[in-house]
Amino acid sequence: MKLYIPENYKSYLDLKQTEKAIKLIKDFFQQDLSSELKLSRVTAPLFVLKGTGINDDLNGIERPVSFPVKELNDHEAEVVQSLAKWKRMALADLEFEPGYGLYTDMNALRPDEELDNIHSIYVDQWDWERVITPEDRNLDFLKKIVRKIYTVLLRTEYFVYEHYPQIKPILPEEITFIHAEELVERYPGLAPKERENRAAKEYGAIFVIGIGGEMPNGEVHDGRAPDYDDWTTETVNGYKGLNGDILIWNPVLESSYEISSMGIRVDKEAMLKQLKIANKEDRVNLYWHQRLLNGELPLSIGGGIGQSRICMYFLRKAHIGEIQSSIWPDEMIAACKANGIHLV
């Protein structure tokens, strides 16, 4: 069992206050995000057909929940693991113009997730996607969008403070950008997660650039599917990758804390290159990949922002089960209860 118990933990809010606060945070954050990034809310699927290439395969090893559909001759459907690819199709089908996009409530099941303080079988996040131009496919534009999202986080933190003055704002005014290869150079000998911990603790909030590709030392900082984020395009500083993770320092868990995974999406050339690197070239015949190769999908930037994770952080909770209802190992439930962590 992977469980961290903060010393002398006590929640700032009781159960009823917590439920009310969750609603306040979610309503405020999504409205502010929508305004900041010019996103319209759309309805998203809970499941998609297997064999279309639409589902996100995450690191490529997680098993999606699947089931046969009687009216489709038992053709299997899969519960989404994220909407990374579906959103780009929606941008095309709803005819969004450059500079505008969509967001949606994504609810997913990841049964292979290793359960701990921040990982659950049930995943809820705001999935968002925005149309860009060819000129936007660069590191400066990526940083611009990251700063906009970070501004929303800062506003949300102050919003929580206004309602619950006992929860003091702690985020730094600026987010720090650092490439995964720079982390290797700065903290040689440490594992990727340990590097993130060091940097997040030092700066308070960081955006780690370049997630998914092999670095000069032969490591991959963290896994990414080869067919949505662009992790092979070389940037002006000699590093590779137009994607990354927003990480903040979580003082309750005393570790780095991923809020969002995002990036500029692959164009035709980047996808073909990354499929070859990942030995997944057979995917080019799938429905989604054919649409991209045929020029039917717009260039885009997008990502996911964890809903329960944001609420957990801003309310200074020790376990994601204090925010969302899921299932947990019996020993985890018992250990949480014995230490004042009330799982809903």
What positions carry a catalytic annotation?
Answer: 56, 110, 125, 245, 258, 261
Cβ neighbours for 120, distance < 8 A, ≥ 6 positions apart: 113, 308, 320, 321, 324, 326
Rounded Cα distance, 279 and 288, in Å: 18
Using an 8 Å Cβ cutoff, are 107 and 123 in contact?
A: yes
Question: CA–CA distance from 21 to each of 34, 41, 106, 237, 308 (Å)?
Answer: 20, 22, 20, 42, 12
Distance between CA 261 and CA 246 in Å, rounded?
A: 7
User: For residue 19, which of 341, 324, 310 has the smallest C-alpha distance?
Assistant: 324
CA distance 39 to 25: 18
Angle of CA points 61, 90, 33, to nearest 5°: 90
Q: Write the DSSP symbol of residue 283.
A: G
- Which tokens go with 149? 């999202």
3-state secondary structure of 106: strand
Beta-carbon contacts of residue 175 (< 8 Å; ≥ 6 apart): 146, 147, 150, 205, 206, 207, 246
- Give me 116's structure tokens: 């701990």
* Gyration radius from the chain CA atoms: 20
* Sign, CA torsion 134/135/137/142: negative
